[in-house]
């Protein structure tokens, strides 16, 4: 493993499926839209849509997670529940139960980690009233400093009016908002070669970013901090197209009077580009202060050695230190003693 000489490394994009939630899944799988299945001695989670993945020990076991972090040179990980269980298509009451179990289980994992695991909240976003209730409960009970949401809410964009009061509360709580691709349904022309993930996920992220940039939400709620997965998907390389479209098309100006490029520069992104030149371009585009180290572990689409990716991107040591953990140390209350 090639790592930077950064004094502190924080992984802000890594997932969990806590033990209490797995127990609930074994009881209520039909409601949750997934089931547990033994495949040759390995437990898999199989979703109603047909996709499946192994329930790796790092999802559920604190000791296994800490051992993996040690091997990769990671000091602290901020756990976010697997986005496969946002539950936005499910009954709102069931989705609230799912979110509460995930939030409580994530907090339990953090409590067993000696300070090396932190957590993010999730919420049943399809029902803004329930989402507000669970957000306040989870943040109040567990002290979460971040919130994970999907790139859309069952087809509804994050900036739509019914979510604005929720975002105002998120801003009052000063939470970092982690927007993660949300897989639902068939994606035409992407069904072969695993393109539902390889192309579909970064496309969903790009659409969510464009929505935020054109919607005026960052003007209406100043200081709202959106952080996007997978290096921002395709959008960092197409922001010029948004800027040009805004200059020539009236349709782009209905909700904001400023170029979407300005809103784009206020967003935050992780390092998961799987490509050092792409990571360098991202940093040059938005500055190192707006990029955070992430892995996407323990899914197989993770960057297995993010420190090597960071070290090979041609950045200064100061930039590497910021991205590796310095940018978020204060937000999560991890200032050097």
Between 7 and 297, name the one with better pLDDT: 297
Residue 283 in this model has a pLDDT that exceeds 60 = yes
Residue 6 has pLDDT above 90, yes or no: no
- Is residue 15 over pLDDT 70? yes
d(CA 250, CA 243): 12
210-235 residue pLDDT tens: 999 999 999 999 999 999 999 999 99
Percent of the chain beyond pLDDT 70? Answer: 97
- Beginning with the edge strand found earlier in the chain, give each strand of the sheet holding 268-270 in spatial order: 146-150, 176-180, 225-228, 268-270, 291-292
**What's the whole-number mean pLDDT along residues 314-325?**
97
Token couple for 33:
């839209």
Distance in angstroms (rounded) separating the CA atoms of residues 94 and 192: 32
Residue of 181, 197, 179 lying closest to 268 (CA atoms): 179
Mean pLDDT of 159-183: 96
pLDDT at 266 (0 to 100)? 97
Please determine, for residue 126, whether its predicted confidence score (pLDDT) is greater than 90: yes
pLDDT on residue 51: 86
Give the per-residue pLDDT at 217: 97
Average pLDDT over residues 168-175: 98
Confidence of residue 187 (pLDDT cuts 50, 70, 90): confident
In this prediction the pTM is 0.94
Bridge-based pairing of strands 10-16 and 176-180 is unpaired
CA distance 168 to 19: 32
What's the distance, Cα to Cα, between the start and end of the chain in Å? Answer: 28
CATH of domain 10-16+56-329: 3.20.20.140
Q: Which of the four pLDDT bands, split at 50, 70 and 90, describes residue 93?
A: very high
Residue 284 clears pLDDT 60, i.e. is over it: yes
245 in Cβ contact with 214 (< 8 Å): no
CA angle 229, 222, 293 (to 5 degrees): 25
- Alpha-carbon gap, residue 180 to 82, rounded angstroms: 10
pLDDT at residue 50, rounded to an integer: 83
SS (H, E, C) 109-124: HHHCCCCCEEECECCC
Mean per-residue pLDDT for 76-93? 96
How far apart, in whole angstroms, are the C-alpha atoms of residue 269 and residue 229? 6
pLDDT at 178 over 80: yes
pLDDT at residue number 184: 66
pLDDT level of residue 236 (50, 70, 90 thresholds): very high
pLDDT of the residue at 139: 98
Q: Is residue 242 scored above 80 in pLDDT?
A: yes
Mean pLDDT, all residues of the chain: 94
Domain ranges across the chain: 10-16+56-329
pLDDT confidence of residue 1:
43
User: Which residues 6+ apart lie within 8 Å of 59 measured at CB?
Assistant: 15, 16, 17, 82, 298
- The mean pLDDT of 192-201, rounded to a whole number, is 91
């Amino acid at each position: 493993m090639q790592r930077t000489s950064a004094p502190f490394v924080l992984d802000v994009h890594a997932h969990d499926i806590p033990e209490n939630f797995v127990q609930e899944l074994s009881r209520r799988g039909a409601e949750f839209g997934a089931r547990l299945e033994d495949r040759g001695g390995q437990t898999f989670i199989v979703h109603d849509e047909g996709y499946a993945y192994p329930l790796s020990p790092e999802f559920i076991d604190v000791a296994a997670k800490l051992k993996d972090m040690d091997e990769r040179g990671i000091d602290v990980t901020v756990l976010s529940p697997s986005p496969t269980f946002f539950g936005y298509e499910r009954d709102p009451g069931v989705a609230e139960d799912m979110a509460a179990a995930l939030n409580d289980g994530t907090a339990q994992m953090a409590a067993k980690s000696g300070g090396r695991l932190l957590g993010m909240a999730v919420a049943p976003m399809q029902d803004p009233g329930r989402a507000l209730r669970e957000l306040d409960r989870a943040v109040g009970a567990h002290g979460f400093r971040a919130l994970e949401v999907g790139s859309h809410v069952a087809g509804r964009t994050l900036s739509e009016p019914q979510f604005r009061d929720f975002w105002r509360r998120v801003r009052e709580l000063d939470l970092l908002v982690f927007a993660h691709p949300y897989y639902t349904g068939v994606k035409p022309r992407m069904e072969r070669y695993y393109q539902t993930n390889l192309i579909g996920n970064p496309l969903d992220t790009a659409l969510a970013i464009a929505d935020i940039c054109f919607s005026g939400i960052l003007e209406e709620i100043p200081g709202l901090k959106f952080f996007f997965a997978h290096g921002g998907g395709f959008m960092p390389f197409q922001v010029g197209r948004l800027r040009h479209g805004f200059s020539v098309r009236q349709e782009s100006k209905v909700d904001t009077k400023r170029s979407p490029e300005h809103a784009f520069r206020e967003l935050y992104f992780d390092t998961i580009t799987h490509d050092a030149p792409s990571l360098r371009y991202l940093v040059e585009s938005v500055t190192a202060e707006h990029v955070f180290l992430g892995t996407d572990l323990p899914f197989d689409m993770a960057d297995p050695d993010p420190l090597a990716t960071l070290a090979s991107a041609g950045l200064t040591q100061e930039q590497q230190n910021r991205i590796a953990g310095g940018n978020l140390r204060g937000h999560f209350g991890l200032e050097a003693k």
